[in-house]
Amino acid sequence: MISHRNPFKIFYGWWIVVASFLTALYIGGAVFYGFTAFFEPIVDEMGWSYTQLSLAASLRGLEMGILSPVVGILADRWGPRKLIFGGILVTVASLLLLSYTTSLIMFYVSFALLATGVSACTVTVLLTAVANWFKRKMGIASGIAICGFGFSGVLIPVIVRLIEVYDWRTALHILALGMIILILPLSFVFRHRPEQYGYFPDGQKQDTTTPLTDLSSPQSPDVELKVKQALKNGAFWRIVLARMYHMTTMMAIITHVMPYLSSISISRATSSLVATAIPLMSIIGRLSFGWFGDKFSKRAVAAMSFVMMSCGVFCFAYVSDMRLWLLVPFLILLGIGYGGTNAILPALGREYFGRTNFGSIYGLMEGIGTIGAIIGPTLAGWAYDSLGSYHIVWFLLSGLAVVAMGSVLTITPTRNLTKQDISANA
């Protein structure tokens, strides 16, 4: 049991944030952002098309979408530790299986196993762990936790170098070994709910949250919805729509950034730096927008992040070997906007739905939103194979940001929620 008196006066929730950060950093680099570095070497060796390879990323997204609600429910019931420990082991096994791929079917099976492992030890589970320990500081806490995904970009040059020195199969072996040595022990840091260890959210000495049933308090209500209530709540579906756009755009870009830049005669070294810079720039958005979300309207902060993403993707569409300078506004706008949405959307969900069933509700949001992760990579791969260019996809994604922006802006502010709003959804 955690000691009630910490000699360093550090709330244990922050150690969970640190463990989440490091877990996200490694898995984000090895599985998500790092995949773009494996793209061309695998195509060159196996002779598969861009669409066939992109489909693997889409299938991974589909399975993660299906598993997210299940993982969320289990995180609420069991706590995060068991899920993260098991998820890391399955992820290691899938990386090893992937390294021995000899056929497209085996490649897809490996990615399906990878999706199972990653689902149990990344976004939904990590954010549920953080949401259980924070309320007022949820924005900055979740921002720091998922900054690990931002810093994971530093692993891309390492992965590229491993592939160059050895080959892509050996690189996967090394990544699997690193996960066992560096990340598996972190699973023991995670705890379920603070009350089990003598704490309250945010490290308060007593529970200062105000339940929605006590609307006489001057504080904003602490909404606690059941899953059924959340599904009937318009805020749920608006956040899902915004998340879907976010995942469509970012999975398309993360998967195809290096192939796209290579297709317009930009060197692999430069495209590797760009792929690295995207998650690194997102760190600014994850931290700043998380902090802004704790101080200002989360809806307005989310809308601003989508505006930045739209402008960034628009710049990306016009990049060429003669207009390399456009990579600068692309990285700044997309990186910060992308990081901002990653921090603010979970905080928005925590504000509207509470923490009691956060894992179950956020898992559903991720699951439905993952439709975007299925569409994005496959759509971009199809565009290149069929049209010989990615540009139409980038223009489309830039325009669709308006829908995401409108979606979050039309959510009813929490200060306008009443008892009747909740009872009507019961």
Contact status, residue 257 vs residue 101, Cβ threshold 8 Å:
no
Q: For residue 426, what pLDDT is reported?
A: 41
Contact status, residue 277 vs residue 329, Cβ threshold 8 Å:
no
- Cβ atoms < 10 Å from Cβ of 318: 12
Rounded Cα distance, 300 and 296, in Å: 8
Q: In a 3-state reduction of DSSP, which class is residue 3?
A: coil
Rounded Cα distance, 209 and 136, in Å: 9
Closest C-alpha among 248, 188, 172 to residue 23 = 188
Only one residue has tokens 């139409």, namely 392
> Residue 64: is it exposed, middle or buried by C-beta count within 10 angstroms (0-12/13-18/19+)?
buried
Rounded Cα distance, 123 and 114, in Å: 14
Q: In a 3-state reduction of DSSP, which class is residue 222?
A: strand
Rg of the chain (C-alpha set): 21
Rounded mean pLDDT for each run of 10 residues along the chain, 426 residues in total: 53 87 89 78 82 75 74 81 90 92 88 86 82 78 80 83 89 92 90 75 58 37 71 83 86 84 82 83 82 79 88 88 86 89 81 76 80 82 83 87 84 55 44
* Architecture in CATH of 12-198+222-425: Up-down Bundle (1.20)
Strand partners, 211: 222
Rounded Cα distance, 343 and 24, in Å: 13
Q: In a 3-state reduction of DSSP, which class is residue 422?
A: helix
Task: Classify residue 318 by its DSSP letter.
Answer: T
Q: For residue 208, what pLDDT is reported?
A: 47
Q: For residue 262, what pLDDT is reported?
A: 83
Q: For residue 202, what pLDDT is reported?
A: 67
Contact status, residue 381 vs residue 54, Cβ threshold 8 Å:
yes
Rounded Cα distance, 41 and 160, in Å: 10
> Which pTM does this prediction carry?
0.68
CA distances from 406 to 230, 302, 303, 401, 409 (A): 20, 10, 7, 9, 5
